[in-house]
Amino acid sequence: MRQSQLFGKTLREAPKDEVAVNAKLLERGGFIYKTMAGVYDYLPLGLKVLEKIRAIVREEMNSVGGQELLLTSLQPKERWEKTGRWEELGREPMYQFKDHSGREVGLAMTHEEALAEIALRSIQSYKDLPLYVYQFQNKFRDELRAKSGLIRGREFLMKDMYSFHRDEKDLDRFYRIVDGAYKKIFKRCDLDAYVAEASGGAFTKEFTHEYQVFSEAGEDIIFYCSKCRYAQNREISSMKEGDACPKCKEMVKSAKSIEVGNIFKLGTKYSIPMGLLYSDEKGVKKPVVMGSYGIGLGRLMATVVEIHSNGLGIMWPESTAPFKVHLIVLDGGKKAPPSKAGRASPTAVGGEKFYKILLAKGVEVLYDDRDDKSAGEKFADADLIGAPWRAVVSEKTIAARGIEVKKRSEKEGKIISEKELLKRVI
């Protein structure tokens, strides 16, 4: 992609109404646009990151046997009345309103009711179980506080998975499999997530499990043991800082953290009111046992930014970077005086050459071909946007018959050969 044509420009300063680091950096970098508090548009750079994360999550959900589907946002009141959640969630945070005909509808913030109803067509017998379905679907939650950028959105893309089982034992089996998949997802996004016990909130009375990443931007506090990694959300914990870990006796610590995912054993809470039963081998009707498993994609992206950034900008892990290489042409580029023979400047020629080489090798590259920006502005943009590799073409590198390459995490670049560049970034 040529940066001169990119929709979304970097901003010198963060918008004044943002307090969260993730929102400040993502808006400054041209990844997102704020339409309202908690409601963000994804510009091309931001969507590229979101799609990287979506691909990782999709791969892991497919690998546990999940079938992808896509449910609706608009929801009829009658469906949610069956579980009592129309009234419960209507007080806050579910958006509910009347359509032009006067019918009451809501915007889904989760899909237990919907799936328990839809599954009536798929599940009749024990032979139809287990089943696992998931979606990437835009959720709506009318959050009272929405000051954490993409961490707490009023509209946000969520991966939600739902599982259907014949009994608790089979749910337990699959719950552990999803736990393994979740750990892989966060690791692939270069995040260190603790699995913390937590309350089920509106969903269940059993412990649920949250995936928590330490961060000052977090809205949760967890007590944890860094030795055995046992952890609990403060909301349910009887531990306190300095206590001996109940599992391994090491000293318990506490930390602010971001909940990047959660898994719930729902039991029969939704299947019974929705009438979702199956016949066992003897023909006896039993309620289906359910689980649900969520990851907010925008929140995950925001967490990567909170963890992987410094004062200058974002430092994307390769797995989630919008581009692998930020190629920059200096010393005037196209604007520099052409040679006597009328040819473009050597830096412009060099920049185009490397851009084409990298594209031909399948490397995702953002090419800063702008001819009205100084070296300082270009380097500042590169630090802000945060591609893992920066490659610079200048009069100096052309004289040295190479290209200057620097990792985002390094202070200084080094001039290396084209061959060496390809070895590093392919």
Instruction: Tell me which residues touch its own copies (CB under 8 A).
Output: 1, 4-9, 11, 30, 33, 35-36, 39-44, 46-47, 50, 65, 67-76, 79, 92-93, 95, 97-101, 105, 114, 118-119, 121-122, 127, 131, 133, 138, 140, 142, 144, 154-155, 372
Smallest gap from residue 283 Cβ to its own copies (A): 15
Asked if 296 and 166 count as a contact pair (C-beta separation under 8 A), the reply is no
Q: Which is nearer to its own copies, 8 or 313 (CB)?
A: 8
In degrees and rounded to multiples of 5, residue 420 shows phi and psi of -65, -40
Q: Which is nearer to its own copies, 97 or 340 (CB)?
A: 97
Give the 3-state secondary structure of residue 360. Answer: helix
Nearby residues of 348 by Cβ (< 8 Å), 6 or more positions away:
329, 332, 333, 334, 336
Q: Which is nearer to its own copies, 197 or 377 (CB)?
A: 377
Smallest gap from residue 6 Cβ to its own copies (A): 7
- What residues are paired with 25 via a beta bridge? none
Smallest gap from residue 284 Cβ to its own copies (A): 19
Q: Which is nearer to its own copies, 34 or 253 (CB)?
A: 34
DSSP secondary structure string for all residues of 181-202: HHHHHHHHTT--EEEEEE--TT
Q: Which is nearer to its own copies, 128 or 190 (CB)?
A: 128
Q: Which is nearer to its own copies, 7 or 205 (CB)?
A: 7
Smallest gap from residue 368 Cβ to its own copies (A): 15
Smallest gap from residue 50 Cβ to its own copies (A): 7
Q: Which is nearer to its own copies, 114 or 315 (CB)?
A: 114
Question: Which pair of tokens denotes residue 272?
Answer: 């019974």
Burial 277-311 (b: 16+ CB within 10 A, else e): bbeeeeeeeebbbbbbbbbbbbbbbbbbbbbbbee
Distance set, CA 393 to CA 278, 375, 411 (Å): 66, 11, 17
Q: Which is nearer to its own copies, 4 or 319 (CB)?
A: 4
Asked if 332 and 345 count as a contact pair (C-beta separation under 8 A), the reply is yes
Question: Which pair of tokens denotes residue 219?
Answer: 């809205």
Asked if 276 and 270 count as a contact pair (C-beta separation under 8 A), the reply is yes
Smallest gap from residue 342 Cβ to its own copies (A): 23
Asked if 142 and 94 count as a contact pair (C-beta separation under 8 A), the reply is yes
Smallest gap from residue 228 Cβ to its own copies (A): 37
In the DSSP assignment, the letter for residue 58 is H
Asked if 329 and 368 count as a contact pair (C-beta separation under 8 A), the reply is yes
Smallest gap from residue 370 Cβ to its own copies (A): 9
